[in-house]
């Protein structure tokens, strides 16, 4: 069945007539109300909230937080002083609020409910970084659709996702929320997620609008510290950070969230270059711009605005439509308009964009929710099955070497006696990852439960070893004893969910707490070691990677992670995930990403250290290359690449590059491979990256099977931002690679003339 996708980036006459009819009836305070998004609830008691959350985690019970309505809220709604809410995830509450406007306000304009649905709603999928490691946009579209199904049933009409920030710094905790380091891959994932969220035939009968974020360049936070300053050239803005937003808009996204960071000295929320010049003048995009949480007020500490009034003035003039939570618009826009500092016409335009979205979403016809739907829809069996499939495809096998008993450590045989050790083996809450706002640890299958599908109870022992991050090594001796009694040790290690995500950046990216000490002690037993490593980011683990015989990056894999891990460890599923962000050897290399520039003094080989080659762009103590490169990931079978063919090695600007290669499964298991195509523009009017991803295909091959994989890349897509800041494709020689990761494999050349 052809999926119907809603688009919110267009104008149509009937909607425009409805918008104008409403606008002419609106008073100024009602107009300003539409530009205010807030929470309906009273002062938020963080301590109380955290205590309840902790209690839920400890007892494995659902996290219930029953908030209190803000005292002034009913009147604000009745008088049209508020246009939308965020993160109200209860249909009962939403219906209550909606009734106040639909039945009791003058113009009956429904409220818009926004929410952070980052990797699933009740059916929690792997974190987005993990999801991107599937390199499977079709699957992510389906996952996003499931998220939309569940979120919509709970009353969300506006999803604050996808996060399409390109991120090249794993210290930044929000790398967990995006698709990694590459703009081309980021574009593919952005399109898929927007399509999935905006599917129109949802069970609820409602619609959802996506809100790509954070516009723009947020991932470039200096030193990986969240909310920090960014500073990059306009060329990097255009070539690296903007393309995933453009892709999301082209796929039909009609809203965007402005970022917290500054771009060239102007915070995004008050930056007319990105909000007007690019969105409106260059892209002609008519969508709605929402601020991030209080980012209007934050213009004051940024040092751009003297006070909230000034912040409101600058934001509105720059092109910001809706203000999230801070109250610059509600408090000051009326005065600013009467003083002539803000033209009413600009306010009207912003209001039009809100009304248009509400009409396009069908809220006027269907403001109310069926309060029984979540119960019937959430965690549906097919949703859970999809969460399992995504988890299986998202995990990346980083290492699988021989040990004394076997030529490869994985998959394990069910006859093996396994000592399971580590703080994430019997853990539910952390597998949900960051940004799982509908937090139900009881939905999660643990790794131990997953293993139970393959191992008899007497073939498995479990010891904690040590906690994730607390300073407690008292369990290590018991772990060593367990290891000694087993055939194979399965270490389940990594980060807790709260070590990544918003505001959770780290400087040391190794195993937290005493976990490395635990590994050292267990490694001394000489037993074969398998490590399942969970994290919200690429970690820096050269020592661990050297110690273990097999290593599986399992991320924070959502509610089905435990089962997916067991399926991979026992070979029921052949791993096929590939990294979408490089794993550094050392924190000091960061940012390390494959699409870097060559410099005037490149090292001859990526592995070079200083004194092997003097006065080259290398380190004295560590190679330039990452420990695990972008695109990398192993399988239980082997793939061979051959027969590179460039159909037309001399191309014009309007031609399409056609490259093919034969990929064969030379091992003895069926498997899936992500075949990747990279190019390099050798000489440009400005310098170009040493490699850029321009195509990928995920194929499945039976043992002995071969397939010709054919890529078609329009030459128009080989361009970049030239000297005059315009997009240009320049004639010249290009290299092309087809291979299993960003280090290449088959290499050829073509020219554009
Ligand atoms: C701040 C975050 O930066 C953003 O991603 C999120 O959507 C808003 N808060 C709303 O929760």
Cα 309 to chain centroid distance, Å, stands at 34
- Three-state DSSP string of 251-306: CCCCEEEECCCEECCEEHHHCHHHHHHHHHHHCCCCCEEECCCCCCCCHHHHCCCC
Asked whether the predicted pLDDT for residue 34 surpasses 50, the reply is yes
Q: What is the CA radius of gyration of the chain?
A: 26
What the block records as the tokens of 603 is: 């090292």
List the one residue out of 25, 47, 190 whose CA is nearest residue 109: 25
Using 50, 70 and 90 to split pLDDT, how confident is the model at 611?
A: low
Nearest CA to ligand 1 atom 4: 292
- Please indicate whether residue 116, judged by its CB atom, sits closer than 6 Å to ligand 1: yes
- Please indicate whether residue 289, judged by its CB atom, sits closer than 6 Å to ligand 1: no
Task: From residue 606, give the alpha-carbon distance in Å to each of 594, 595, 610, 625, 692.
Answer: 11, 13, 12, 5, 16
Q: What is the CATH number of domain 395-569?
A: 3.40.50.1700
For 697-705, what is the mean pLDDT? 98
Asked whether the predicted pLDDT for residue 607 surpasses 80, the reply is no
278-297 per-position pLDDT tens digit: 999 999 999 999 999 999 99
Using 50, 70 and 90 to split pLDDT, how confident is the model at 1?
A: very low
Using 50, 70 and 90 to split pLDDT, how confident is the model at 610?
A: low
Q: Which ligand 1 atom sits nearest the alpha carbon of residue 260?
A: 3
Q: How far is the CA of 213 from the centre of ligand 1 (A)?
A: 9
- Please indicate whether residue 293, judged by its CB atom, sits closer than 6 Å to ligand 1: yes
Q: Are 485 and 419 in contact (CB under 8 A)?
A: yes
Please give the order of strands across the beta sheet that includes 488-494.
Answer: 396-400, 550-553, 529-534, 488-494, 418-421, 460-463
Q: How far is the CA of 345 from the centre of ligand 1 (A)?
A: 29
Nearest CA to ligand 1 atom 9: 293
Asked whether the predicted pLDDT for residue 457 surpasses 80, the reply is yes
What the block records as the tokens of 255 is: 């809203």
The count of other CB atoms within 10 Å of the CB of residue 282 is 12
Q: How far is the CA of 184 from the centre of ligand 1 (A)?
A: 24
Q: Which ligand 1 atom sits nearest the alpha carbon of residue 87?
A: 11
Confidence (pLDDT) at 418? 98
Alpha carbon distance 396, 199 (integer Å): 29
The reply to whether CATH 3.90.25.10 applies to domain 2-39+80-374 is no
List the one residue out of 447, 464, 699 whose CA is nearest residue 568: 447
Alpha carbon distance 653, 38 (integer Å): 49
List the one residue out of 582, 580, 577, 579 whose CA is nearest residue 567: 577
Q: Which ligand 1 atom sits nearest the alpha carbon of residue 160?
A: 7
Sign of CA dihedral 277, 282, 284, 290: negative
- Please indicate whether residue 88, judged by its CB atom, sits closer than 6 Å to ligand 1: no
The pLDDT > 90 percentage for the chain reads 92
Alpha carbon distance 430, 445 (integer Å): 11
Q: How far is the CA of 257 from the centre of ligand 1 (A)?
A: 9
H and E: helices and strands count for the chain: 22, 26
Confidence (pLDDT) at 338? 98
Strands 650-651 vs 746-752: parallel, antiparallel or unpaired: parallel
Q: How far is the CA of 292 from the centre of ligand 1 (A)?
A: 6
- Please indicate whether residue 435, judged by its CB atom, sits closer than 6 Å to ligand 1: no
Q: Which ligand 1 atom sits nearest the alpha carbon of residue 259?
A: 3
Confidence (pLDDT) at 614? 76
- The mean pLDDT of the chain is 96
Residues 6+ apart with CB under 8 A from 110: 98, 101, 102, 358, 363, 364, 367
SS3 content of the chain, % helix, strand, coil (to 5): 35, 20, 50
For 151-159, what is the mean pLDDT? 98
Using 50, 70 and 90 to split pLDDT, how confident is the model at 432?
A: very high
List the one residue out of 80, 69, 105, 5 whose CA is nearest residue 354: 80
- Please indicate whether residue 692, judged by its CB atom, sits closer than 6 Å to ligand 1: no
Alpha carbon distance 12, 357 (integer Å): 12
Q: Which ligand 1 atom sits nearest the alpha carbon of residue 214?
A: 5
- Three-state DSSP string of 703-744: CCCEEEEEEEEEHHHHCEECCCCCEECCCEEEEEEEECCCCC
Q: Are 206 and 159 in contact (CB under 8 A)?
A: no
Alpha carbon distance 439, 387 (integer Å): 16
Q: Which ligand 1 atom sits nearest the alpha carbon of residue 163?
A: 5
Alpha carbon distance 542, 519 (integer Å): 13
The residue to mutate among 227, 293, 294, having the most atoms of ligand 1 within 8 angstroms of its beta carbon, is 293
For the CA atoms of 8, 12, 14, 16, the dihedral, rounded to the nearest 10 degrees, stands at: 80
Asked whether the predicted pLDDT for residue 2 surpasses 60, the reply is no
- Please indicate whether residue 298, judged by its CB atom, sits closer than 6 Å to ligand 1: no
556-605 per-position pLDDT tens digit: 999 999 999 999 999 999 999 999 999 999 999 999 999 999 999 998 76
Confidence (pLDDT) at 48? 79
- Boundaries of every domain in the chain: 2-39+80-374, 395-569, 639-752
CB-count exposure of residue 712 (10 Å: 0-12, 13-18, 19+)? exposed
Confidence (pLDDT) at 615? 87
66-120 per-position pLDDT tens digit: 788 999 999 999 999 999 999 998 999 999 999 999 999 999 999 999 999 999 9
Indicate yes or no: pTM above 0.95: yes
Residue-wise burial string across 37-66, b where 16 or more C-beta atoms lie within 10 A, e elsewhere: bbbbbeeeeeeeeeeeeeebbeeeeebeee
Q: How far is the CA of 443 from the centre of ligand 1 (A)?
A: 24
Alpha carbon distance 705, 256 (integer Å): 45
Alpha carbon distance 398, 65 (integer Å): 40
Q: How far is the CA of 160 from the centre of ligand 1 (A)?
A: 7
- Please indicate whether residue 181, judged by its CB atom, sits closer than 6 Å to ligand 1: no
- Please indicate whether residue 160, judged by its CB atom, sits closer than 6 Å to ligand 1: yes
Nearest CA to ligand 1 atom 3: 292
The residue to mutate among 88, 221, 257, 501, having the most atoms of ligand 1 within 8 angstroms of its beta carbon, is 257
Alpha carbon distance 558, 104 (integer Å): 42
Nearest CA to ligand 1 atom 1: 293
Alpha carbon distance 340, 338 (integer Å): 5
For the CA atoms of 382, 500, 627, 231, the dihedral, rounded to the nearest 10 degrees, stands at: 120
What the block records as the tokens of 72 is: 């002034």
Alpha carbon distance 301, 735 (integer Å): 47
Alpha carbon distance 575, 594 (integer Å): 23
- Please indicate whether residue 696, judged by its CB atom, sits closer than 6 Å to ligand 1: no
DSSP code for 156: -
Task: From residue 96, give the alpha-carbon distance in Å to each of 70, 111, 209, 371.
Answer: 13, 11, 22, 11
Q: How far is the CA of 352 from the centre of ligand 1 (A)?
A: 24
Q: How far is the CA of 574 from the centre of ligand 1 (A)?
A: 36
292 is catalytic: yes
CB-count exposure of residue 289 (10 Å: 0-12, 13-18, 19+)? buried
- Please indicate whether residue 504, judged by its CB atom, sits closer than 6 Å to ligand 1: no
The residue assigned the tokens 């995500």 is 501
Residues 6+ apart with CB under 8 A from 484: 525, 527
Q: Using N-to-C axis directions, what is the helix angle for 381-394 and 561-569, rounded to 10°?
A: 50
- Please indicate whether residue 213, judged by its CB atom, sits closer than 6 Å to ligand 1: yes
Q: Which fold is adopted by the domain 639-752?
A: Immunoglobulin-like (2.60.40)
Q: How far is the CA of 320 from the centre of ligand 1 (A)?
A: 16
496-521 per-position pLDDT tens digit: 999 999 999 999 999 999 999 999 99
Using 50, 70 and 90 to split pLDDT, how confident is the model at 408?
A: confident
Nearest CA to ligand 1 atom 11: 116
Nearest CA to ligand 1 atom 8: 293
The residue to mutate among 156, 324, 438, 502, having the most atoms of ligand 1 within 8 angstroms of its beta carbon, is 502
Q: DSSP letters of 324-353?
A: ESS-HHHHHHHHHHHTTSS-HHHHHHHHHH
Q: How far is the CA of 219 from the centre of ligand 1 (A)?
A: 14
The residue to mutate among 160, 215, 261, having the most atoms of ligand 1 within 8 angstroms of its beta carbon, is 160
Q: How far is the CA of 406 from the centre of ligand 1 (A)?
A: 48
Q: Which of 165, 182, 239, 292 is catalytic?
A: 292
């Amino acid at each position: 069945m052809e999926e119907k996708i809603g688009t919110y980036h267009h104008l149509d006459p009937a909607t425009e007539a409805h918008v104008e009819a409403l606008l002419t009836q609106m008073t100024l305070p009602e107009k300003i109300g539409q530009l205010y998004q807030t929470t309906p609830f009273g002062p938020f008691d963080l301590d109380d909230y955290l205590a309840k959350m902790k209690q839920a985690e400890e007892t494995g019970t659902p996290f219930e937080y029953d908030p209190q309505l803000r005292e002034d809220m009913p009147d604000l709604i009745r008088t049209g002083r508020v246009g939308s809410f965020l993160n109200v995830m209860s249909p009962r509450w939403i219906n209550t609020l909606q009734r106040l406007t639909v039945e009791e306000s003058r113009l009956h304009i429904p409220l818009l409910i926004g929410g952070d649905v980052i990797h699933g709603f009740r059916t929690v999928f792997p974190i987005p970084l993990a999801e991107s490691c599937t390199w499977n946009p079709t699957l992510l579209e389906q996952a996003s659709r499931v998220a939309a199904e569940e979120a919509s049933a709970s009353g969300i009409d506006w999803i604050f996702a996808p996060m399409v920030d390109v991120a090249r710094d794993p210290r930044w905790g929000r790398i967990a929320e995006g698709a990694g380091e590459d703009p081309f891959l980021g574009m593919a994932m952005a399109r898929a997620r927007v399509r999935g969220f905006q599917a129109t035939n949802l069970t609820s009968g409602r619609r959802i609008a996506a809100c790509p974020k954070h516009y723009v360049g947020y991932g470039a936070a200096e030193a990986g510290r969240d909310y920090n300053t960014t500073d990059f050239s306009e060329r990097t803005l255009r070539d690296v950070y903007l393309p995933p937003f453009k892709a999301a808009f082209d796929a039909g996204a009609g809203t965007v969230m402005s970022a917290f960071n500054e771009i060239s000295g102007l915070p995004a929320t008050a930056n007319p270059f990105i909000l007007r010049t690019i969105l409106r003048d260059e892209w002609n995009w008519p969508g709605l711009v929402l601020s991030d949480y209080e980012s209007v007020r934050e213009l004051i500490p940024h040092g751009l605005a003297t006070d909230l009034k000034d912040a409101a003035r600058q934001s509105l003039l720059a092109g910001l439509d809706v203000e999230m939570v801070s109250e610059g618009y509600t408090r000051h826009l009326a005065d600013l308009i009467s003083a002539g500092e803000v033209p009413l016409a600009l306010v009207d335009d912003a209001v039009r964009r809100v009304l248009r979205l509400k009409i396009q979403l069908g809220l006027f016809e269907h403001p109310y929710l069926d309060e029984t739907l979540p119960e019937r829809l959430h965690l549906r069996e097919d949703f859970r099955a999809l969460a399992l499939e995504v988890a299986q495809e998202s995990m990346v096998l980083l290492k699988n070497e021989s040990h004394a008993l076997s030529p490869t450590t994985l998959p394990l045989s069910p006859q093996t006696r396994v000592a399971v050790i580590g703080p994430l083996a019997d853990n539910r809450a952390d597998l949900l990852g960051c940004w799982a706002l509908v937090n139900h640890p009881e939905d999660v299958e643990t790794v131990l439960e997953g293993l139970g599908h393959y191992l008899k109870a007497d073939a498995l022992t479990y010891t904690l070893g040590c906690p994730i991050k607390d300073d407690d090594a008292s369990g290590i001796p018991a772990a060593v004893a367990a290891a000694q009694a087993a055939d194979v040790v399965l270490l389940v290690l990594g980060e807790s969910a709260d070590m990544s995500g918003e505001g959770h950046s780290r400087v040391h990216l190794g195993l937290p707490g005493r976990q490395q000490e635990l590994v050292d002690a267990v490694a001394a037993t000489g037993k074969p070691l398998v490590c399942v490593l969970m994290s919200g980011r690429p970690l820096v683990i050269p020592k661990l990677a050297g110690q273990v015989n097999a290593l599986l990056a399992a991320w924070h894999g959502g509610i089905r992670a435990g089962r997916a891990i067991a399926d991979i460890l026992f070979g029921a599923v052949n791993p096929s995930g590939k990294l979408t962000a490089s794993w550094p050897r050392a924190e000091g290399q960061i940012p390390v990403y494959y699409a870097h520039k060559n410099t005037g003094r490149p090292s001859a080989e990526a592995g070079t250290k200083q004194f092997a080659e003097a006065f080259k762009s290398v380190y004295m103590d560590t190679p330039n290359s990452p420990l695990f490169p972008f695109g990398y990931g192993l399988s239980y079978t082997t793939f061979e690449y051959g027969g590179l063919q460039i159909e037309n090695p001399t191309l014009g600007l309007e031609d399409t590059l056609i490259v093919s290669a034969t990929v064969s499964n030379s091992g003895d298991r069926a498997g899936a491979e992500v075949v990747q195509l990279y190019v390099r523009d050798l000489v440009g009017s400005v310098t170009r990256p040493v490699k850029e991803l321009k195509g990928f295909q995920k194929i499945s091959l039976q043992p002995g099977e071969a397939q010709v994989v054919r890529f078609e890349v329009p030459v128009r897509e080989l361009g970049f931002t030239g000297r005059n800041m315009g997009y240009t494709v320049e004639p010249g020689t290009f290299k092309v690679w087809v291979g299993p990761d960003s280090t290449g494999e088959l290499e050829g050349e073509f020219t554009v003339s």
